[in-house]
Structure 1
Amino acid sequence: MSDVPKDEVLENASHIVALLSRGSDPFISEEVRVQALKAANLVTRALEKPEDGLIKFAFSPTTWMAIRVCAQLDVFDLITKNEAISAAEIAKIGNADETLIRRLLRVLTAAGFVAEKGDGLYGPTHWTVHINSRLAQGMLKFIYDSSMLPIAQSVNWLKERGYQNPVDPRHGMFQAANQTDMPTFKWLTVPENKEIWDNANTFFEGDRGSRPSWLTWFPTKEKFFPEGHHDEAPLLVDVAGGRGHDLMEFIGRYPEEPGPYVLQDQQPVLDSAPSLSPKIEKQRFDLFEDPPVKGKQPICGARIYFMKFIMHDYADEQCMQILRNVKASMVKGYSYLVINDFILPDTGCGLLQSQWDLMMMVLLSSAERTETQWRTLLESAGLSIEGMYSPPGDAQGIIVATL
């Protein structure tokens, strides 16, 4: 039935029961939750026959399609707001065919994303409520709309190029699918693509999912400002920080610190940012042309230059250019570069990190990096790695570098 030995299946099943029986809150920590989930997946793989599992996997894109169409029709919003709503009501509100609505929701009820309350009658589950949230909507719309065509073309694209690893940001799968030679982020910011770019920035606000913030497990204050920050130089510059969600989280964690803080990104992104703390200065910024902000004399450099999920967007050549710009603002013995990103293990890599790596390949001709690859990149840029830190569970790691 499975390549997994029977005793290992039983051991993992027992492990799950033991983890779930620990008091009123079974998930004592993120690490325990991930351990239980990994054990559960091993049991599922052992019980599921490969011929059945592969067929189910082959048909899984239809679930993705059903979710995206229902999001377009605001079906999740309608179901979330009603204890029970009929397919006929949903069809009437969305000006859609009732039979189509039933077919789409048949898949989503089978997957557990929507509750089936009767024949053609639907109600919310916790999945429905989450999918209806602003961050989830941005994620599913951006990922579906930007990746499905490049993924569909990837097989022929790779074959035509002799199965070479893509590294050219102007000539990748995304460019072939959209018939452009613009790098992906450049293409996203042209006016006609405003909706997908807005969805992208909404997704970036929540791309950590439920995984813990680095501020909850990394000794940030002890490492970077144990006595508090009293300089006129910025305490933290969020380089290409989007709408400032990570910066606001930092300020919420350390409200006693006066800053100042700097949020840097393209002007349209900054314009879409919500009301931010008065401690934050917004600065228009081009990742490849502008060095991050410098402080005032006598420091002339920020304490922390923070980059979350930035380096994984680019191949090594572009990363070297970014790092040269960051270095131009750093002060030796004072400034830190803090990178919040996946640090892939050489063996035993998790599924999400592996999938994220391929998504980077498809959308950006870039990649997630292993510890060895991170060391090679940063040291080649003339940076010294102070440390690489792994979080609990399967969240993104922290890399601290100095001049």
Structure 2
Amino acid sequence: MTTADQLISNLKGIDATSFANDAERIRARDAIFEAFRRHKSPWDIAWDHNWVNPAINACIKTLSDAGVFTKWAEAGGEPITCSQLENLTGADALLIRRMMRALAGQCLVTEVGHDTYARTPWAKALTGNPPFACLYGATYHEVMGPGFVALPSYLKKTNYRNPTDCNDCNLQFWRGQPGNLFDFIQSNPLLRSDFNDAMVIHSQSNLMPWVDVYPTETIIAAAEARPTQTRPLVVDVGGGKGHDLKKFLATHRGHVPAGSLVLLDLPEMLKDVDVEFEGGSAIIVQTHDFFNPYPDSVKGARAYFMHTVLHDWPDETARQILQQLVPAMEKGYSRLLIHEHVVSSERPSARVTVLDITMMAFLAAAERTEEQWRDLVESVGLRVVKIWRTVQGTDSIVEAEVS
């Protein structure tokens, strides 16, 4: 029988840096979470779901909007009192105190003395990594929050049918307006900015970098075997801010000719994108809607890369996207690299299953199993060459070519 004191002693000193690599950290995290769930009472779980999560997100958004975390960092980031935060921000000290107490109760900040708080790694990330803070901005409060609240009512209205139409799903139900999620994002400058940043942090934290999953040196080698041709190396389809092309360039700097990496996305999504690098730009930016034929300038590339693009769309729409891409690919040379989660057939990752419901709630889409990925790819005249998997077994790269 383990005593509480023994357990507490064993857990002290463990943090995100205690493990040899991220795969080990994730294994430990999942085991701790399972133990955490087993030890909680049904009431404890319901309390977290219905009180803790909504209240804490409201506190985070309020304190962020008031400038608490930014001013705290600018003042040096050392332990600080709520009265000092009032002087820095102009917000009421009593209001700050009540919300900081709530965050401290969730171990998001640390109370180190009377009315005095210190930053945790999470609190530091709110200002040290700007895209991270955007997860608590318009992405959550204008989309995620209201959308998840509405989902049960929408599914009841449909007599509990699985959604498959991105233009007639829960998003239109709760907004009371036509247009899919991307129409909504493009019409809202703040949401567009926060969504782009959310995709950056998703790439940083939720999926292993694609250059660590796929042998990207084969892209360089295949292109160098055709030295007289001036075709793109990698075309990043729907690539947002170009974060994945930057990872490729950082890995293969010195082997990437100028202009050989092409970032494609809608004009609204490419606003304020900065892809300049020392020594000139290897990345060029080009506007394109992937529902339309591809321009000649990007045809015959070695790799067409799609990072969490197709999971945004139900099967029929995803097929339309791929059908426009296939004619741009050269048979026997071009590769399509789909960087997505692959849902395990047994005991799938909790992170993936939550993302699956997210896709359902806002896009009538889904995370796909290996069988579903193969069916989708093969339905448009492509052939799966290999599925490259990570140690965690959730994020993968589906490599395909023209069959």
Q: Would the TM-score normalized by the shorter structure come out above 0.5?
A: yes
Are residue 151 (structure 1) and residue 148 (structure 2) matched? yes
Task: State the distance in 2 between where 1:246 and 1:357 align.
Answer: 23
Aligned residue in 1 for 2:186? 189
Paired residues of 2:211 and 2:248 also in contact (CA < 8 A): yes
Aligned residue in 1 for 2:267? 267
Aligned residue in 2 for 1:290? 293
More displaced stretch, 245-254 vs 94-103 = 94-103
Paired residues of 1:188 and 1:194 also in contact (CA < 8 A): yes
Task: State the distance in 2 between where 1:400 and 1:238 align.
Answer: 14
- Change in Cα spacing, 1:209 to 1:48, as seen in structure 2 (3 Å) is farther
3-state DSSP of counterpart to 2:353 = helix
Aligned residue among 77, 85, 97 for 2:70 = 77
Post-superposition shift, 1:207?
Answer: 0.8
Aligned residue in 2 for 1:86? 81
Task: State the distance in 2 between where 1:156 and 1:313 align.
Answer: 22
- Change in Cα spacing, 1:245 to 1:209, as seen in structure 2 (3 Å) is closer
Post-superposition shift, 1:95?
Answer: 3.8
Task: State the distance in 2 between where 1:146 and 1:88 align.
Answer: 34
Post-superposition shift, 1:292?
Answer: 5.8
3-state DSSP of counterpart to 2:338 = strand
Aligned residue in 2 for 1:98? 93
Residue 245 of structure 1 aligns with an amino acid whose one-letter code is H
Residue 349 of structure 1 aligns with an amino acid whose one-letter code is P
CA offsets 1:363-382 (integer angstroms, 9 cap, x no match):
22211111111111111111
Residue 344 of structure 1 aligns with an amino acid whose one-letter code is V
Aligned residue among 140, 157, 161 for 1:160 = 157
More displaced stretch, 173-182 vs 91-100 = 91-100
Residue 349 of structure 2 aligns with an amino acid whose one-letter code is G
Aligned-residue Cα RMSD (Å) equals 2.6
Q: Which runs of 5+ in 2 are unaligned?
A: none
Structure-to-structure mapping, 1:4-403, within 5 angstroms: 26-59=18-51, 60-80=53-73, 81-132=76-127, 133-141=129-137, 142-190=139-187, 193-210=188-205, 211-222=207-218, 225=221, 228=224, 230=227, 231-259=229-257, 260-277=260-277, 278-291=281-294, 294=297, 301-393=300-392, 396-403=395-402
Paired residues of 2:290 and 2:321 also in contact (CA < 8 A): yes
Task: State the distance in 2 between where 1:201 and 1:325 align.
Answer: 24
Residue 234 of structure 2 aligns with an amino acid whose one-letter code is L
More displaced stretch, 171-180 vs 125-134 = 171-180
Task: State the distance in 2 between where 1:355 and 1:48 align.
Answer: 20
Task: State the distance in 2 between where 1:344 and 1:226 align.
Answer: 31
Residue 256 of structure 2 aligns with an amino acid whose one-letter code is P
Paired residues of 2:223 and 2:302 also in contact (CA < 8 A): no
3-state DSSP of counterpart to 1:377 = helix
Task: State the distance in 1 between where 2:375 and 2:220 align.
Answer: 24
Post-superposition shift, 1:221?
Answer: 1.4
TM superposition score normalised by structure 2: 0.88
- Change in Cα spacing, 1:323 to 1:154, as seen in structure 2 (3 Å) is same
Residue 71 of structure 1 aligns with an amino acid whose one-letter code is S
CA offsets 1:349-395 (integer angstroms, 9 cap, x no match):
11111111111111222111111111111111111000112112265
Post-superposition shift, 1:323?
Answer: 0.2
Task: State the distance in 2 between where 1:209 and 1:62 align.
Answer: 27
More displaced stretch, 332-341 vs 36-45 = 36-45
3-state DSSP of counterpart to 1:53 = helix
3-state DSSP of counterpart to 1:208 = helix
Task: State the distance in 2 between where 1:57 and 1:371 align.
Answer: 31
Residue 374 of structure 1 aligns with an amino acid whose one-letter code is W
Task: State the distance in 1 between where 2:263 and 2:44 align.
Answer: 50
More displaced stretch, 391-400 vs 378-387 = 391-400
- Change in Cα spacing, 1:293 to 1:241, as seen in structure 2 (3 Å) is farther
Post-superposition shift, 1:111?
Answer: 1.0
CA offsets 1:228-268 (integer angstroms, 9 cap, x no match):
46331111001111111111110111112234111111123
Residue 119 of structure 2 aligns with an amino acid whose one-letter code is P
Paired residues of 1:234 and 1:262 also in contact (CA < 8 A): yes
Paired residues of 2:147 and 2:362 also in contact (CA < 8 A): yes
- Change in Cα spacing, 1:292 to 1:36, as seen in structure 2 (3 Å) is farther
Kindly report structure 1 stretches of 4+ aligned residues shifted beyond 6 Å. none
Task: State the distance in 1 between where 2:55 and 2:174 align.
Answer: 20
Post-superposition shift, 1:43?
Answer: 2.3
Residue 55 of structure 1 aligns with an amino acid whose one-letter code is W
Task: State the distance in 2 between where 1:284 and 1:179 align.
Answer: 30
Q: Which runs of 5+ in 1 are unaligned?
A: 1-5, 8-12
Paired residues of 2:147 and 2:171 also in contact (CA < 8 A): yes
TM superposition score normalised by structure 1: 0.88
- Change in Cα spacing, 1:72 to 1:395, as seen in structure 2 (3 Å) is farther
Residue 212 of structure 2 aligns with an amino acid whose one-letter code is T
